[in-house]
Structures are given as structure tokens and as C-alpha cells.
Structure 1
Amino acid sequence: MLQDSTSRDFIRIAMAAPYLDREQEHELALSWRKDHDQSALNQITVAHMRLVISMATKFRHYGLSVSDLIQEGHVGLLEAAARFEPEREVRFSTYATWWIRASMQDYILRNWSIVRGGTSSAQKSLFFNLRRLRARLASGNEMLSNAALYQEISAALGVSEADVATMDARLSTPDRSLNATLSGDADTTERMDFLVCDDPWPDEVASTAIDVERRSGWLKAALRALNARELRIIEERRLKDEGATLEELGGKLGISKERVRQIEARALEKLKVALVKQNPEFLAA
């Protein structure tokens, strides 16, 4: 991070750098693009650092260091210089502005809050335009409710009203650590202590997994007591998420649905006998 004195010196040098006219800019850009002339690249970037500084000051109200914003903007400026195509006859400042702004905005979204926001282009637009639009709409003669404001902003930015309300709440409320105590002095109770989790305890999860594995082993062993037709009926009727009907299975096997029901009942009884014989504790499980 730039120190205050270093930052001031850097800004002073950048603001004192000479401007480039269109012809100079074009020649330097060609030298960098064709010959990778590092000196040409340096001249272009130094001449446009005042653009980075100007843009950084516009984002200072997000509570981040202007020096850090300038550094991020410089990264965007270098990216713009590397991609700039002088043959398109577009001024470098016009092209670089987008890269500088994008670099600063990405930095703000990464560091403004510990909760990641602005993951889509619409959300990003909402983050950077909500305050401006809210202030403009609220400054009118008509007093608008929050619901009306959210509706107007939603239509202007193409996002849902729920997203507008959520972002408005985030922008108006600072981050709070879950490890912060509820009060000072000797009280060590943290916000984390009041979080409720409905998930089972780890020992319960482990116990359930062991029981499921054990019962699955019992069932596999017991299924060996069935003949091929009995096994197919049990699998189709009992071991699938959407079991086949008696009529459907009868059609596949070429027997009546009543006969399918009889075979199924006999197979279930054989399974019960096999399970109890091999594992007497099954009845108590």
C-alpha cells in the first residue's frame, strides 16, 4: 500500500506529466504494439495517470483508500495500453477509461464488504448506481416511499425490487463480525453463540451412516434367499423410487396382477425369515 507521503509524490509527478497530442499518442502506441518499446508504454501510461487519479477520487466515498484505488486503476491502465489498437483511430483516454473504471469497481466489490456482492453485471450496476438514483428520485417534489423508490430503481436498472431492497440494506448497514461480543467489559457472549443450526450433530451423522450401511448389508444378504422372479418383483416394486404397479409388472412377466401380489407377499415373508435368521437383532433395530 502506498504511504501518504509516497502517494502525494506520485500524484504530484502524475499531474505534472505532459499531455500527449493525437499524433504523439499514435506514434507511441505503434512503437509499443509493433516493437514492444517499454519506453513508449511508460510515456503513454504516465501521461494518463491523471485520468486514473481523477477516477479514483470519484470512488472515494466507498470508504477505501484512494491510494489503493489509484494502484488498481493503474493496473487497468496498463491492461488498456497492452490491448490498445492505434489503427482504430480512437483516443487512448477514451479506450482506457473503461479499463480503469472496471479495475477500480472490481477492487471495490472485492474489498468493500466481507460478503461478496455484484456477481452479475446487473448486480454490479445496482451496487454502483443505487445511491445516485435514490438521491435523485428522493430529491423530487413528491415524497416517495421505499416501495415506490425500489420500483423506480428496479425499472431503471433492470433488476428485481427484492434485489434493490437487499442491496439498499447492505449499503446502509456495515459488516458485523460474528465473533464480536454483544457488550463490552466482562461479557464474552458473541453473536455466534445465538446462531441456530438445525443440522444433526456429527456423532448423529456418523451413527446414521453406520446404521444405513449395516442395514444395507443385511438386505443384500437376505435377497440371496429369493429366486429370480421373486427378486425382480421385489426390486421393481420395493427398491425403486417409483415402484411399478401390480398390473404393469404382471404385463412384463406375463402373469396376472393377483399372481404378482402373491409372489410379492411370499418374497417379503422369505426376506423377513432370512433377516431374522441371519441377524436376530434385526427385530430390535
Structure 2
Amino acid sequence: MSTSAKTFPIWAFFSLLTNGLLMLAVILLLWQQQRLTAFFATTTSASQLNLNSKLQAATPNLGPRHQLNYQQWLDILKQEANVAAEKRPPHLNILVGDSLSLWFPTELLPENKNWLNQGISGETSNGLLKRLDLFDRAQPEAIFVMIGINDLIRGTGDEEILDNQRQIISYLRKLHPTAQIVVQSILPHGGEEATWQGRDKLLAVTNTRISQLNQQLQNIANKQGVKYLDLYPLFASKEGNLRREFTTDGLHLSPEGYIVWRSALQIYSGIELKSRL
């Protein structure tokens, strides 16, 4: 047996396997969407109307929460976390991050789990680090973290972002020792096709830089013994930009984008469950 085979880390094998399955799932999902599009283009059946209504319902509804200031956000999230801590729902999973996590449609979150959404619009890694104690008393089985794009938009350096990520991971491991901590990659943006109101600041951050930052983030996750879920290739076009069908403005996700994310979470959870048996 060769020396390279002996030293090939087992986590790298499972990482390649997981990401390979996720890529296959997304390819199948896109193929299915194309078939559905062709089908519904030639029919006006009740099932089509039902599908359209579900997609509309899954579109993130900003509602009154969009007008809240940061402290009001903290107060609401603390209240919701306290309820989860008191009721202790089974199979509690927590989403932690910025607007991408915040606007994950409840209808599209993986089933058979109870979800606590702790996202805040415009959140940064430093802001998230300071408010992790909001759900200290919760007892989740898994915590999914996605943070960093707002840091980049605001001009924060890579080292500061990565240091905050290290502290976030360390804190979550200490306060939730039985939970599975899953660090998710930062997603690409839409490039020149982006229409988000902060487009100029967004375009100042290259997707190449995001990809390189994700590689360092994966190394940190591996060193700290937590899981890393690489969503970046699932959302990136051949040019490396956020695929237009997965976004509403080049930054935020469309219902189709959340379906891809949902599929990734479902497949990932299934793989992890089997690996524990």
C-alpha cells in the first residue's frame, strides 16, 4: 500500500463524498425543474395553480420585521430562543446567520425537525459572535452557521472574518457540546447581473476571493472538529457567479435557491445520520 493512501485523511474522503452527492442532487433537481417548466408551459391544470401558489407562499415575506432595528431583532430572537429552551422540542435545529438564513421560508425547511431561526438581516460575523448567548439554554441537535458576506461588503479583512469564525465555532462547541456544528460556505454573488441596491459594494468583492475564503474556512472547520457544508459549487454558474435562477437580486435567494439549499440540508442530514449508525 502506498504512503499517500495511508495518510489520506478520512474527513477528506467523507467531504468529497458528501459534496459529490450534493452536486448530483442539484443536477437532478435542475433537470426536474426543466421538465416541470416544459410541462406547465402546455397546461393550465389545477395542479399548476397549486404549484404556483406554493412557490408564491415560499417567497420570503419581509413583513413588519424588516423595519425592526437591531436591538428589536435581538429581543425577538431571545424570546423565541427562550421558548425553545423551555419547551425543548425534539430534533431542534438552529439556523444562525444573516438575511440568507433569516428569510429561509418555513415551508421549505426540511421536515421532521423543529427549526429555530436566529438570523438577522445585515448581520456580520462580529455581530453574530456577540449574540450567540441568546440561545445558550437551547438544546439543539444541530446548529447551521452561515455568515460572512456582509463583512466582505463592508470591507472587513479576511483575517478578521476568519478569526471571528474561529471564535464562533469555539463558543458553540463549548456551550453545545452534544450538538453537531455545521459551518456552511459563503455563497457567491450574481456579479454584473446583480441588481441589489448595494451593487457597487457587492461587485468590489470578487467571487474568487469568496471561494478562497471558503477554502480557509473549511480548513478552520476541519481543525476545530466541526462539519463543513460546501454550498458554493451548488449555487455557482460556470463563470463562478450566483446562478440567476437561484437569486432575486444577485445577493438574496429565490424560492428555487432555497429549494437547492433545502435539498443540500436533507442529503447532508441523511449522510450524517447513516454515518452514526
Instruction: Give the TM-score taking structure 1 as reference length.
Output: 0.19
Bigger Rg, structure 1 or 2: 1
